[in-house]
Structure 1
Amino acid sequence: MVRRELAVRFRGSILGWLWAIFGPLVMLSAYTVIFSSAVGVPSSAKGGPFGAYSMSIFAGLIVFNLFSELAYRSPGLLHEHSNVIKKSIFPSETLAWTAAIRAGVYALISLGVLVVFELALRWGMPATSLLLPLVVLPFFLFLLGISWFLMALGSFTRDVAHLMISIVPVFMFATPIFYSINDVPEHLRFYAHLNPIGNYVEMIRDLLLLGQLPGFLLYAGTVGASLAVFFYSYRFFMQYKAVFVDVI
């Protein structure tokens, strides 16, 4: 099923999988050209090396786009596969895994473009980048939890899908993509850290671009919240699983 999901995205196109590389490459190149000077960039990014701010934005977008793709799609997943669910004994909870892996593959391609770009500009990567899986794994579990929760709610009403279309773009500006949490006024940073997506953006930037270790409290708190979302969302989904056949 995962292989079929991956093939559908570029079906009928001439370049096929090359679009998965070409798109992120164009985006990253555009950011580098636009933000190659310090004009209009946050204070935390001024004076940095060439391309640093564009890579920072691109890293944030990789994380947020992975979240947003699942947030948009998850509410309709059960409706999308209603024929299979109704006609056979199908483990509907695996749809979240399939969607998350599909989105994760494209995110990894974008991450590969970012790594190549960083190597070209800096001739190396920080040693902390080897710790990236310790951040990516709990983030993936968090996304699975979000998918299960939205799948369950979306099975009862399609309003959830319309709600995601409305709030995800707004949520993007509450996430430190075009800025850093350090740019947020100090008395508001606590509230900024309540956004787990923003915390993952900051931690991935620290490891991959800045060569810094995330703060222990930030890491432990974010991972703990992610695991709670994962387990409780799974329980929520399984609690209503028997009802989905009647409502989709």
Structure 2
Amino acid sequence: MNAVSINPISAFGAYRSLVLELTKREILGRYRGATMGLLWSLISPFLMLMIYTLAFGYIMKSRWPGTNGSTSDFALILFVGLIVHGFFAECMTRAPLLIVGNTNYVKRVVFPLEILTWSMVFSALFHLAMNMVVLLCLKVYWHGEIHWTTLLVPLVVLPLIVLAIGVGWIFSALGVYLRDISQFVGVLAAAMLFLSSAIVPPESIPQTYRWVFELNPLTLIINQVREVVIWGRLPDWTALSIYSLFALAVFLVGFYLFQKLRRGFADVL
């Protein structure tokens, strides 16, 4: 029988060192054997930005409302959207296979399965941090400054982290019983990119369809990260507070759904 935590926070508090060790193993394992190792965590987002900037900035001549129309401004704004989406998409697409891919933890040992989601999210958070380093380096190179409001990025992103953990628990538990869910989540992650403010300015969307973009859980966070990093303005604390309550609700529902469904993991796997 697997160890069960009595509340969501104890899953991390009681096994903090194990979570960090699993996170470290995930990060290093991803780049094991690569000649440049962890440097790829900085190179990959830079290459990704070049491709998107070439496609949207130079070929399609896209420009962002409220800017001076320069390609560098468009690239920075675009990159923020890709960073936030990349973090959440990594958590979503990996979650359905999280338990299925670690059957030894389910069947052979007493193991707190819920911490697998914590380590998955922390691994994605590491890559988000590396992407932010690239973003800030480009900001200094093109604009020669970093706004002090950039220090608020962790507070802005925190609700999304809480949401990602809750979603991770939900999809990892459902993935044990519904194997096709991983295919659905992949499509959903792609849809969330194009139906958010990551690539398309919501102002350019007809009012009839704008609600789809506004309901996307990535749109608010993307916009607020842009506010503090690109524009140097304070975030909308009221909107973030409401978002945090929603994220906390998903977090709690995800945890208790995971705890309920985990009883049958061994039988299915």
Structure-to-structure mapping, 1:127-206, within 5 angstroms:
127-206=148-227
Q: Distance in 1 between matches of 2:127 and 2:193?
A: 19
Matched, 1:226 2:251: no
**Corresponding position of 2:77:** 56
Q: Is the 8 A contact 1:180 1:202 kept in 2?
A: no
Could you tell me which residue of structure 1 aligns to residue 131 of structure 2?
110
3-state SS, counterpart of residue 187 of structure 2: helix
Alignment match, 1:9: 30
Question: In 2, Cα distance between the equivalents of 1:82 and 1:155?
Answer: 10
Alignment partners' CA distance in 2, 1:52 and 1:134: 24
TM-score with structure 2 length normalisation? 0.85
Residue 150 of structure 2 aligns with an amino acid whose one-letter code is: S
Displacement, 1:46? Answer: 5.3
Residues 74-115 of structure 1, C-alpha deviations (whole Å, 9 max, x = no match): 001101111122101110000000111111111111110001
Question: What is the CA–CA distance in structure 2 between the aligned matches of 1:235 and 1:196, rounded to whole Å?
Answer: 21
Query: Structure 1 residues 81-90 or 216-225, which shifts more?
Result: 216-225
Contact 2:63/2:69, CA 8 A, preserved across alignment: no
Query: Partners of 2:99 and 2:230 in 1: how far apart?
Result: 38
Matches of 1:151 and 1:20, distance apart in 2: 25
Q: Does 1:91 align with 2:107?
A: no
CA contact (8 A) 1:78 1:155 kept: yes
- Residue 243 in structure 1 maps to residue 240 in structure 2: no
- Which moved further from structure 2: 211-220 or 106-115? 211-220
Paired letter, 2:162? L
C-alpha distance in structure 2 between counterparts of 1:33 and 1:224, whole Å: 38
SS of structure 2 residue aligned to 1:175: coil
Shift, 1:70, TM fit: 1.4
Query: Contact (CA 8 Å) 1:55, 1:114: kept in 2 or not?
Result: yes
**Given residue 10 of structure 1, which amino acid in structure 2 is its aligned partner?**
Y
The number of aligned residues is: 248
CA drift at 1:212: 2.1
Residues 36, 181 of structure 1: alpha-carbon distance in 2 compared, 3 angstrom cutoff: closer
Shift of 1:182: 2.7
Tell me the TM-score normalized by structure 1. 0.91
* Residues 1:188 and 1:32: Cα distance change in structure 2 (over 3 Å): closer
Task: Go from structure 1 to structure 2 and tell me whether the alpha carbon gap of 1:173 and 1:31 turns closer, same or farther (over 3 Å shift).
Answer: closer
CA distance in 1, matches of 2:186, 2:54: 30
Deviation at 1:230, TM superposition (A): 1.0
Task: Name the residue aligned to 1:25.
Answer: 46
Moved more, 131-140 or 43-52: 43-52
